[in-house]
Amino acid sequence: MKKNSGFKYLKLAEKLQQLIINGTYPTGGKLPSVRTLHQEQHISISTALQVYAYLEKQGWIEAREKSGYFVAYSRLQNRRALPPVSNPAPTAAEVQVNEQLARLKFYSGMDVVSLVGPAPDSAILPAGKLRKALSAVARTYDDSYIPYGDIRGYEPLRQQISRLCLNWGRAISPAEILVTNGALEAATLCLRAVAKPGDTIAIESPTFFGLLLAIENLGMKALEIPTDPVTGIQVDKLEEAFRQKKVQACLLVPNFSNPLGSCMPDPQKEKLAKLLARYQVPLIEDDVYGDLHFSPDRPKTIKSYDLEGWVLYCSSFSKILAPGLRLGWVIGGRYQEKISQIKFMNSAATNTITQMMVHRFMEQQRIDLHLKNLRQTLNLQNMQMIKGIQEYFPKDTQLTQPGGGISLWIALPPKVDTWKLFEQAAAEKIIITPGPLYSSQPHYANCLRLTNANPWTDEHEWAIATLGKLINTQL
């Protein structure tokens, strides 16, 4: 399935695919009859037949004469186990990812099949509508975007961001919001506000190398905390670090983290918010993937439960509208004034015309409808990527099953060296990100992160099949 369609049968087919992926309908299991589907989903018999015909054509199900439809063994019989809970060393470490990242930069801009997309592909983002918004701003606002803007950001945009915050359960005023040059600047400003060089920051293990890079560049250390591939960081282990005064602050991605795709359950977020207040430890919450949930309900944030301002919340438009706009924001709680001062010294006001452009887009478009379509498309691409990995990678490969975001974390057999795999794949013009990039410790040598950010094409299936062959050469 390509870009999301309004056809009922395609939408229902997507839902059934997700139920197959998450095991609700197990391999070989029987699906509802055509008549049952017709009655339960309030669709016509012909639409129900279209649903099953599509799923059968895609290889998800098979028809058995006089018996009905069943989940196809050929697709999901090799469903992978989840990677284990991580087990990092319990001591802080200096971060050294700059040199490793340089090996990736060499391939930027080349004609390659990229499996590392840091944001949804431009083909599934509203490029045309954003162009119209930019044209409208240029026509309507004359030269009002030329002077320096408000250090806090364009106020009409901050008003719209405050409405977005209602989606995760908090009423945030525009005055509490500071617009930044992307979420990474927001996280860096927060780190500078809550810690100093030499301080230790608690992080998930593994975690996004961009956050590790920020910690490294500020001369801070990282303490990696054991992290579950489904439920995220282990809060009891984090509390132990608080109790032993091992860390000065935390930097977490609780919703659909990069690279694991894990999502901390809401009760754990509430528990952590209370612990932060008890031990008076600030937490920087990176929530750039929170709106990319595959289930009907958006997960809450740790900030949702923050009553005393210890949570510094960061997010951006990079994953939901356009990464090139470089627009993020921070809600700094008790550190807001200090963050504003650092922002002024660091980069002054954020680009005004891009803020006006996004404001115009959100004023004219239904952001909720755009997000719904984007989530459905990413969900489908996620299932297609999982299906490809199950088909082409070794049987003992371990694989996450994220409920949102754009990341898949893969643990290959222990013999595999993913930096070596990176070099082999690059020779075939395929780009991946090796697992060691996601840790401050010498971990995850046999792991890699792939992305569901790109539409699934024959080229991408070829790349996954080729990776499978290259992996086998190391076994």
- From first to last of its 475 residues, the chain has per-residue pLDDT tens of 333 334 678 888 888 887 877 667 876 778 999 999 988 888 999 888 989 988 887 777 888 777 889 887 555 455 678 999 999 999 999 999 988 888 776 555 568 898 988 889 888 999 999 999 999 888 887 777 677 788 899 999 999 999 999 989 888 999 999 999 999 999 999 999 999 999 999 999 999 999 999 999 999 999 999 999 999 999 999 999 999 999 999 999 999 999 999 999 999 999 999 999 999 999 999 999 999 998 878 999 999 999 999 999 999 999 999 999 999 999 999 999 999 999 999 888 899 999 999 999 999 888 999 999 999 889 888 888 998 999 999 999 999 989 999 999 999 999 999 999 999 999 999 999 999 999 999 999 999 999 999 998 999 999 999 999 999 999 9
Q: Three-class SS of residue 180?
A: strand
Question: How, if at all, do strands 249-252 and 283-286 pair?
Answer: parallel
> Cα 40 to chain center, whole Å?
33
Distance CA 333, CA 156 (A): 21
CATH classification (class only), 8-76: mainly alpha
**Residue 171 buriedness (CB in 10 A; 0-12 / 13-18 / 19+):** exposed
Q: Where are the domains of the chain?
A: 8-76, 95-122+369-473, 125-366
Q: How many residues does the chain have?
A: 475
Q: Which CATH superfamily is domain 95-122+369-473 in?
A: Aspartate Aminotransferase, domain 1 (3.90.1150.10)
At position 323, the amino acid (one-letter code) is: P
Separation CA 215–CA 443 (nearest Å): 18
| Beta strand ranges found along 322-406 (DSSP E) | 328-331, 398-399
Q: What is the CATH architecture assignment of 125-366?
A: 3-Layer(aba) Sandwich (3.40)
Burial of 475 (0-12, 13-18, 19+ CB in 10 A): exposed
Only one residue has tokens 């600047």, namely 185
> How confident is the model over 243-288, as pLDDT tens digits?
999 999 999 999 999 999 999 999 999 999 999 999 999 999 999 9
**Among candidate residues 392, 451, 396, 446, the one with its CA nearest the CA of residue 419:** 446
User: How far does Cα 227 stand from its chain's mean position?
Assistant: 16
pLDDT of amino acid 15: 83
User: Which phi and psi (to 5°) does residue 25 adopt?
Assistant: -110, 100
The pLDDT value given to residue 106: 57
